[in-house]
Amino acid sequence: MIKTNTRKSPEHTRQLVLSATLQLFTEKGYFNTSVRDIARESQVSIGSIYHHFNDKEGVASAMYNDLLKRMSESLEDIQRNNDSAHERCHAVIELLFKVTEEEPQLMEFMMYSKHREFLPDEAPICSAQPFMLMREMVAHGMETGEIQNLDLMVASSCLYGGAIRMITSRLDGIIEKSLLEYVESVWECSWRSIAVNQLV
Amino acid sequence: MIKTNTRKSPEHTRQLVLSATLQLFTEKGYFNTSVRDIARESQVSIGSIYHHFNDKEGVASAMYNDLLKRMSESLEDIQRNNDSAHERCHAVIELLFKVTEEEPQLMEFMMYSKHREFLPDEAPICSAQPFMLMREMVAHGMETGEIQNLDLMVASSCLYGGAIRMITSRLDGIIEKSLLEYVESVWECSWRSIAVNQLV
DNA sequence: TTGACTAGAACGAGCGTTCGTTCTAGTATT
DNA sequence: AATACTAGAACGAACGCTCGTTCTAGTCAA
């Protein structure tokens, strides 16, 4: 045996694998990444990977759920710390932009990866919890009278759609400056699109 | 030899292959579709496929460019037949919704398929011609004073973002009714988000 | 007859996965 | 303190299979 991963903890190994996997999947995609690639990049042996996750799909699935969970936690924080829909939704867009800048790979995976091609049993991303929380905030805004009484899908698509489009453009390299510089102007447009008319 | 594809024309064969491919790619994705699958579905032999397209990527590439071209032509029609940015952009959203309803597979492929995973040399979709035409319409609206003087990316993201989000939701099965029923309400929100203030 | 086209068997590379084994850290026994 | 034992983490060669692609033989229209 040439070298041995001096054992730390199962959790440590899992994290090694997951972070290498995120890196590789966002770089080359699921199908262009082999388990061997993951083993090489994470310095964890193939056998170990199969020991911790059952198969390649298990790795993808674990990673995906990790990311969704982290995202949901952030959104719940926002919900706790803000009362009005106006503040909450603004904070959401700021969060999404910040994550895009700080962890573009994470964002790319969540946005782009059409995970259903390799995780066919997962729900589509927009019925996943983070997006449901985002819609919930919009619904709350309708109740408090901040937001026009529209179809919920229409309202949340219009409110978040602009920001999401900015994110994908940024990830595709079409936008060169940091998204954080655009928060306020995107927010003004997005909010105006569905807010009840105030004095203009 | 058991049977022979009664020979029609090279163009006919190409179309058989491309339409089967669109079907398969949107159904199962590029990587879950083998050349054998395409041959079976299109009733064109493997040899023929390789004769007409050089390789699997060639099939994908031909199809992708076909779709972009058709989309561009529709957008140019819109540009020709409408003068104001207001009319043009409204027509664009209506077009996108209509295509989504009539040819969801086409839309799904263009929207979702992260084509860069298998067409790494193509530009990202949002710098492809259709999206450039869409941005051009927005720029035109700024010149005529219909649209606020915003950063071009911000303005077009906000104008089209809501509609695009509706499309992906529809494709994911989150929206059950035809998008055509939402055209006007989405349009009102989208346009309000970036139009210069008129009397409210 | 020629050359574009069709056909599908054959090929080899690379894949996900398995499995027999080794290694390590911790526990129980003395 | 020394030893024996155990659970499970780590290892990677090997397997079987599927894939994209090639190749040779055959077909048909001009």
The model's pLDDT over A78-137, given as tens digits with 9 standing for 90+, comes to 999 999 999 999 999 999 999 999 999 889 888 877 666 787 777 777 678 999 999 999
Amino acid (one-letter) located at A35: V
pLDDT at residue B5 in the model: 55
A60 contact partners, CB below 8 Å, separation of at least 6: A21, A25, A30, A115, A118, A119
Closest nucleotide to the alpha carbon of A48, via C1'? D10
Judgement on whether residues A71 and A139 belong to the same structural domain of the protein = yes
Predicted confidence (pLDDT) per residue in B29-52, tens digit: 899 999 999 999 999 999 999 999
Statement: residue A200 has pLDDT above 80: no
Statement: residue B2 has pLDDT above 70: no
pLDDT at residue A26 in the model: 86
pLDDT at residue A167 in the model: 96
A30, A112 Cβ separation under 8 angstroms: no
Q: How confident is the model at residue B124 (pLDDT cuts 50, 70, 90)?
A: confident
Judgement on whether residues B18 and B100 belong to the same structural domain of the protein = no
Count of alpha carbons within 13 Å of A103, Cβ hemisphere only?
14
Judgement on whether residues A24 and A90 belong to the same structural domain of the protein = no
Statement: residue B7 has pLDDT above 70: no
The answer to the question of residue A16 being in a domain is: yes
Measure the CA–CA gap between B50 and B58, rounded to whole angstroms: 9
B67: its two tokens: 């779709």
Measure the CA–CA gap between A52 and A61, rounded to whole angstroms: 13
Q: What domain count does chain A have?
A: 2
Judgement on whether residues A113 and A87 belong to the same structural domain of the protein = yes
pLDDT at residue B17 in the model: 95
Q: How confident is the model at residue B3 (pLDDT cuts 50, 70, 90)?
A: very low
B155: its two tokens: 């303005």
CA distance A14 to chain B (A): 26
Judgement on whether residues B44 and B134 belong to the same structural domain of the protein = no
B154 contact partners, CB below 8 Å, separation of at least 6: A162, A166, A182, A185, A186, A189
Which residues of chain B make contact with A155, given a CB cutoff of 8 A?
Answer: 189
Backbone angles phi, psi at A195, to 5 degrees: -70, 150
Judgement on whether residues A22 and A78 belong to the same structural domain of the protein = no
pLDDT at residue A8 in the model: 63
User: What's the CATH code of the domain at B22?
Assistant: 1.10.10.60
- The parent domain of residue A13 ranges over 1-53
Closest nucleotide to the alpha carbon of A49, via C1'? D10
Judgement on whether residues B114 and B189 belong to the same structural domain of the protein = yes
Backbone angles phi, psi at A128, to 5 degrees: -75, 165
A46, A39 Cβ separation under 8 angstroms: yes
Can you tell me the mean pLDDT for A146-174? 96
Can you tell me the mean pLDDT for B143-157? 97
Which residues of chain B make contact with A31, given a CB cutoff of 8 A?
Answer: 30-31, 117
Judgement on whether residues A41 and A85 belong to the same structural domain of the protein = no
Judgement on whether residues A70 and A48 belong to the same structural domain of the protein = no
pLDDT at residue A3 in the model: 38
Angle in degrees, CA B161, B163, B167, rounded to 5: 115
Is A177 near chain B, with CB under 8 Å?
no
Share above pLDDT 90 across residues of chain B, in percent, rounded to a whole number? 74
The answer to the question of residue A186 being in a domain is: yes
CA distance A156 to chain B (A): 8
Across B170-182, b (16+ Cβ under 10 Å) vs e yields bbbebbeeebeeb
Angle in degrees, CA B161, B167, B168, rounded to 5: 90
Which residues of chain A make contact with B32, given a CB cutoff of 8 A?
Answer: 117
Measure the CA–CA gap between A180 and A88, rounded to whole angstroms: 17
| CB atoms near residue B129 (< 10 Å) | 14
Statement: residue B140 has pLDDT above 60: yes
The answer to the question of residue A155 being in a domain is: yes
Measure the CA–CA gap between B58 and A103, rounded to whole angstroms: 34
The answer to the question of residue B168 being in a domain is: yes
B17: its two tokens: 């292959």
The answer to the question of residue A60 being in a domain is: no
The answer to the question of residue A61 being in a domain is: no
pLDDT at residue B102 in the model: 97
On average, the pLDDT of chain B sits at 90
Report how far apart, in Å, the C-alpha atoms of B32 and of each of A120, A125, B36, B173 are.
Answer: 12, 20, 11, 21
pLDDT at residue A114 in the model: 66
Measure the CA–CA gap between B105 and B171, rounded to whole angstroms: 9
Q: Output Rg (C-alpha) for chain B, integer angstroms.
A: 20
The answer to the question of residue A151 being in a domain is: yes
Judgement on whether residues B94 and B164 belong to the same structural domain of the protein = yes
pLDDT at residue B121 in the model: 74
The answer to the question of residue B134 being in a domain is: yes
Measure the CA–CA gap between A140 and A138, rounded to whole angstroms: 5
Question: Nearest CA to the C1' of D28 belongs to which residue?
Answer: B7
User: What's the CATH code of the domain at B109?
Assistant: 1.10.357.10
Is B168 near chain A, with CB under 8 Å?
yes
Q: How far is the CA of A42 from the C1' of D18 (A)?
A: 27
Backbone angles phi, psi at A23, to 5 degrees: -55, -55
pLDDT at residue B116 in the model: 67
pLDDT at residue B112 in the model: 74
Statement: residue B199 has pLDDT above 50: no
Judgement on whether residues A39 and A111 belong to the same structural domain of the protein = no
Measure the CA–CA gap between B155 and B147, rounded to whole angstroms: 8
Can you tell me the mean pLDDT for B160-166? 97
Statement: residue A1 has pLDDT above 50: no
Statement: residue A5 has pLDDT above 80: no
Judgement on whether residues A85 and A134 belong to the same structural domain of the protein = yes
